[in-house]
Structure 1
Amino acid sequence: GATFTTGFCPACGSTVWARADKHSSMIGVPVGAFADPAFPPPMRSVFDDSRHAWVQMPADIPRFPRGRS
């Protein structure tokens, strides 16, 4: 498995950012960290096999069952 480093909000414990050691030049920020209803929709679903059944993704995006590769 891959190794991830994550940063959490000290007040509420929410994940604020994450970085995979495999892609150390990229940082992921959870969309839930933004209170912007105009935030663009997802472009891909990564780890789609682990997605909660109630999460609806756009039908026309690429889906990766267990990661991007």
Structure 2
Amino acid sequence: MIDELPDDAAAELVSDMRAILRHRLAMRRRSAAEARPWPPSWFGAAAGSSPDIARRSEEILRDELGRRQ
């Protein structure tokens, strides 16, 4: 899209884009620096499956990795 703009119009957008990018970077830095509760609110939101995959992990790996193709 920017290729379709005349050079003088594109040049006018540079300062606006820099301001937008500076603002986005500041928001990301602020968000990353904020303390977050642990565990997050969504933690444990879904019910576990039955049978539990963690309990069966060795069995599943043995079955899958032991297959010949």
> TM-score higher than 0.5 here?
no
Structure richer in strand, relative to its length: 1
**TM-score (ref. length: structure 1):** 0.20
Greater relative contact order, per chain length (Cα 8 Å cut-off, separation 6+): 1
TM superposition score normalised by structure 2: 0.20
